[in-house]
Structure 1
């Protein structure tokens, strides 16, 4: 048994760029309908035209939804229900990354990160999972971050949100085991979006073990179809992340201290890219690590 990607309806948050956009491209020749979600549909019009040009029978629904506002998430799901659209697979690929020492972060920024990275994914899953279970088929592909396993001074709130979802997804997988609903978490390291690189939005040296958004999406979907609980895209990143749990906690703290020293020595710059996280809203931009 495999997740219902073929001839199914797939809802993708974070579809305007990065891993979310690449997943949409790779599913366009397989899905019956793609529901693409972004704060503004203008960001998705070009993608819709591209997908339908190569796949004329594909249905593409564009929905404007700012997932930092749970009310908009609820309205979006209600709109789908009014049109009798049943989601077979949810791809949650939107997140927000804001890097700073915790004491220096505005509470509004912290609250927004919690809403986008924790509250809205849980709301989406809560509203969609019941239908999947009643049909005995469905899937959840959650694009998280390798940061869920790290200690990162200067990104404490972001790490907290990722660790929260890591525990939730692993537990949820056990709750629905045997019910026909596939649950896979993707925990990438540094992800490079070729489109943003071409536009000059990324500068400086690329981080270690980086992977393209296209490859991240491809490995994510392959792991999802194999029913894997956790996917680490890229062989280098996968090797490091599989080694990490074997390290004593004190060693992991030492790595965190090194990050903290680098952060202080380069005050005003982003945290060293152990995870490759860009410091801005990502509703489909280069995937957080």
Structure 2
């Protein structure tokens, strides 16, 4: 069973940059219509022009939508209905993250992450899935994160939302077995997107360069796994083997490693330098396209 990518209508959230943009580029030569969704309309329009220049018969819809606002998600869905757009494949790629101690986060920021990373993909899936089931064919590709399988001090809310997405996707996949709807979760590690560029020293110090991959490669391996109807995809060879080995790591060992990171964060030091009791953590906001960005 394969998702109906060829000559299908595919909706991609977070399509303005990063992994979402690369997925759109790779699907443009195969799909009948792409529905590009993101906050930054000017970037979507630039991507549309690029795609049409290389694929003049492709249909492209640009839908500006801030997924942190449920009313805008409703407007997006109403627009699809009004234009008689039948979505064959849904790519839940948009995401939002922050780096810092939980108590230093504003509730508005936390709520925004919950809306983008949890409510939006669940709502879109709920509204589009029934039509897929009626047709007996469809696909749902959820771009999560390796954080959804690990303990991530300094990214507690982000990691929690990705843990949710993993449980939701894996369970939904079982429910839809034999229905003709393919469900795949992608859990990327370090990917060269705007999210990583904005992250700064803390994130990069813990991310060796040999593990990082390009957004193009991440998108390619994600789609290859989706077409195989794989339940879970780890893009990147080195990262894939690391995550497979990590699955055998006892929980107490994971907690011990996480505790070291948490203590360093609390005292505002890098993992590569001794802690200073008077240091204070400076938060770095992460907001970009890709698995972590809208």
Same fold (TM over 0.5): yes
Determine the structure 1 residue equivalent to 2:286.
280
Determine the structure 2 residue equivalent to 1:15.
15
Distance in 2 separating the partners of 1:288 and 1:36: 17
CA gap 1:103/1:196 in 2 versus in 1, 3 angstroms: closer
Determine the structure 1 residue equivalent to 2:65.
65
Determine the structure 2 residue equivalent to 1:108.
108
Determine the structure 2 residue equivalent to 1:274.
none
Matched, 1:255 2:257: yes
Distance in 2 separating the partners of 1:115 and 1:240: 30
User: What is the CA-CA distance between 1:236 and the residue it aligns to?
Assistant: 1.2
User: What is the CA-CA distance between 1:280 and the residue it aligns to?
Assistant: 2.2
User: What is the CA-CA distance between 1:203 and the residue it aligns to?
Assistant: 6.2
User: What is the CA-CA distance between 1:262 and the residue it aligns to?
Assistant: 3.3
CA gap 1:239/1:15 in 2 versus in 1, 3 angstroms: same
User: What is the CA-CA distance between 1:2 and the residue it aligns to?
Assistant: 1.1
Larger Rg, first or second structure (1 or 2) = 2
The two structures have a TM-score, normalised by structure 2, of 0.89
The number of residue pairs the alignment matches comes to 277
Preserved contact between residue 37 and residue 64 of structure 1 (Cα < 8 Å): yes
CA gap 1:255/1:287 in 2 versus in 1, 3 angstroms: same
Determine the structure 2 residue equivalent to 1:99.
99
CA gap 1:127/1:60 in 2 versus in 1, 3 angstroms: same
| Aligned-CA RMSD value | 1.9
* Aligned match for 1:268, one of 264, 273, 281: 281
Preserved contact between residue 189 and residue 288 of structure 1 (Cα < 8 Å): no
Query: What secondary structure, in the 3-state scheme, does the structure 2 residue paired with 1:179 have?
Result: coil
Structure 1: runs of 5 or more not aligned? 271-277
Preserved contact between residue 188 and residue 218 of structure 2 (Cα < 8 Å): yes
Distance in 2 separating the partners of 1:65 and 1:202: 24
1:133-189 deviations in Å (ceiling 9; x for gaps): 110000000000000111111111111111011101000000101100000000000
Determine the structure 2 residue equivalent to 1:220.
222
User: What is the CA-CA distance between 1:129 and the residue it aligns to?
Assistant: 0.3
Distance in 2 separating the partners of 1:202 and 1:246: 29
1:75-106 deviations in Å (ceiling 9; x for gaps): 11111011111000001110000112111111
- Residues 1-150 of structure 1 aligned to structure 2 (within 5 Å): 1-150=1-150
Preserved contact between residue 132 and residue 181 of structure 1 (Cα < 8 Å): yes
Range moving further from structure 2, 7-16 or 259-268:
259-268
Query: What secondary structure, in the 3-state scheme, does the structure 1 residue paired with 2:98 have?
Result: coil
1:191-230 deviations in Å (ceiling 9; x for gaps): 103x899xx7676667221111000000000000000000
1:2-56 deviations in Å (ceiling 9; x for gaps): 1000000000000000000000000000000000001132121111111011101
Distance in 2 separating the partners of 1:108 and 1:3: 37
